[in-house]
Amino acid sequence: RHGIRTFATSALRMADAASPHLIAVSKAQGVARGLTEAIGNTPLIRLNKISDETGCEVLGKAEFMNPGGSVKDRAALFVVKDAEERGLLQAGGTVVEGTAGNTGIGLAHVCRSRGYKLVIYMPDTQSQGKIDLLRLLGAEVYPVPAVAFDNPQNYNHQAKRHAERLDNAVWTNQFDNIANRRAHIETTGPEIWHQTAGTVDAFTCATGTGGTLAGVTRYLKTVSDGRVKCFLADPPGSVLHSYFSSGGKLIDRSGSSITEGIGQGRITDNLKQDVDLIDGSMTISDEKTIEMVYRCLDEEGLYLGASSTLNVVAAKEVAEKLGKGHTVVTVLCDGAYRYADRLFSRKWLEQKKLLSAIPKRLEKYIVL
Ligand code: PMP
């Protein structure tokens, strides 16, 4: 994407002098050879209002610009490439995963573009819209009863067993497959470092599988010799914050959150190796998260899902803690498209007791 933009500017400059042939040749250098090459290299967007308010550079990695619309495209590509490299997946093979959301969509795109079949298990509490979307992207979808992880009928275990029953099939196991974390060590982390020319002072994000937080943290800590501070941001109901604040105990906390795709009850294998590198953690309330959905839309023109705006609130809090002049980076995981019928619905906001969290001047966006 950046390649194309750089070319476009230089092409305009060259336009008078260069022949059409030369321009065509240069343009080919900006072509992604297939969908998977279009994953990553997302822009880092300065959140202007929040940066001005805090006196810091608060920057969001625009992961909603990936082909499948989320940060999970990176993990999807890496778990599939890893299975190929390890000889677990040959031409025409099948990928099986347990997922209710973005990972499935990312995998569907990657599998279609590489000629694999995709089987998805998900809890039957998920919306018909998600099931329909995965099916039209070519996946075979099995909604199964929503039971806890320790029950053998849980969707993750069913996905694993399905893969075991087939030849040339792999269960990609996003939570504990560290190829997920590697996606962020090899791509997201280096991109953030280069895009900020090494000036990044802090990074913060929430975790689902932990791949993004662990991978980016590992890379930034290594390249900066430990200088970059890295923070976990947790939604209510997740137990990870308690792990950091209690010095290593996973205290079961009740509570729930409107955010989707984040919050965790255990230290996944993706988090395990990097958990000691994390400098601190915070819980962000749903009130702050939903207010930021509306603020980002109004002030920045950014139409973001709730995990993204939880990250923005966390980045703002980190910026305030560090003080003026620092550069803080976070992740804009996906857009609001899949959540619009809730996030911008008066009835839903009332049900969740979040209507009062929307400032009066932003109520004009409650249109559903
Ligand atoms: N935000 C959204 C919307 C997601 O779907 C996910 C992944 N479940 C995340 C954030 C968290 O990313 P990770 O799995 O890398 O921790």
Q: What is the full per-residue pLDDT of the chain (368 aa) written as tens digits?
A: 344 444 333 433 444 444 545 555 555 668 998 999 999 999 999 999 999 999 999 999 999 999 999 999 999 999 999 999 999 999 999 999 999 789 999 999 999 999 999 999 998 887 788 899 999 999 999 999 988 888 999 999 999 999 999 999 999 999 999 999 999 999 999 999 999 999 999 999 999 999 999 999 999 999 999 999 999 999 999 999 988 888 888 876 778 899 998 998 889 999 998 999 999 999 999 999 999 999 999 999 999 999 999 999 999 999 999 999 999 999 999 999 989 999 999 999 999 999 999 999 999 999 99
Q: Whose CA is nearest to atom 5 of ligand 1?
A: 261
Q: From ligand 1's centre to the CA of 17, what distance in Å?
A: 47
User: Can you point out the beta strands (E) in 63-158?
Assistant: 94-98, 117-123, 140-144
Cα 216 from chain centroid? 12
What torsion, rounded to 10 degrees, do the Cα atoms 127, 130, 135, 136 define? 130
Q: From ligand 1's centre to the CA of 23, what distance in Å?
A: 39
Q: From ligand 1's centre to the CA of 237, what distance in Å?
A: 16
Of 178, 209, 262, the one to substitute when testing ligand 1's pocket (max ligand atoms within 8 A of C-beta) is 262
DSSP secondary structure code for residue 298 in this structure = I
The dihedral region occupied by 278, where left means phi > 0, alpha psi between -120 and 50, and beta the remainder, is beta
**One-letter identity of residue 128:** Q
> What is the pLDDT at residue 251?
78
> What is the pLDDT at residue 29?
67
Q: From ligand 1's centre to the CA of 203, what distance in Å?
A: 16
Q: One of 72, 130, 229, 316 is an active-site residue; which one? A: 72
> What is the pLDDT at residue 247?
83
Q: Whose CA is nearest to atom 2 of ligand 1?
A: 261
Is 288 tagged catalytic?
A: no
For residue 99, give the ligand 1 atom closest to its CA.
8
Residue spans of alpha helices (H) in 153-297? 155-165, 179-183, 189-195, 211-223, 240-245, 269-272, 286-295
Cα dihedral 64, 65, 66, 68 sign? positive
For residue 305, give the ligand 1 atom closest to its CA.
3
> 169 forms bridges with which residues in the sheet?
94
Q: How far apart are CA 320 and CA 19, in angstroms?
A: 52
Q: Whose CA is nearest to atom 4 of ligand 1?
A: 261
Q: From ligand 1's centre to the CA of 103, what distance in Å?
A: 8
DSSP secondary structure code for residue 185 in this structure = I
- Of 182, 184, 121, 125, whose CA–CA distance to 153 is shortest? 121
Query: Cβ atoms within 10 A of the Cβ of 114, count?
Result: 18
Are β-strands 44-46 and 57-62 bridged in parallel, bridged antiparallel, or unpaired? antiparallel
Q: How far apart are CA 248 and CA 224, in angstroms?
A: 26
Contacts of 116 (CB under 8 A, 6+ apart): 80, 89, 92, 93, 94, 95
- Token pair for 263: 């919050």
Q: From ligand 1's centre to the CA of 92, what distance in Å?
A: 28
ipTM of the predicted assembly exceeds 0.95: yes
> What is the pLDDT at residue 27?
53
Strand order from edge to edge, sheet including 169-171: 140-144, 117-123, 94-98, 169-171
For residue 101, give the ligand 1 atom closest to its CA.
5
Residues with CB under 6 A from ligand 1: 70-72, 101-102, 206-212, 260-262, 305, 307, 333-334
Q: How far apart are CA 201 and CA 108, in angstroms?
A: 35
Contacts of 163 (CB under 8 A, 6+ apart): 94, 96, 119, 169, 170, 171
For residue 212, give the ligand 1 atom closest to its CA.
15
**What are residue 267's phi and psi, to 5 degrees?**
-90, 105
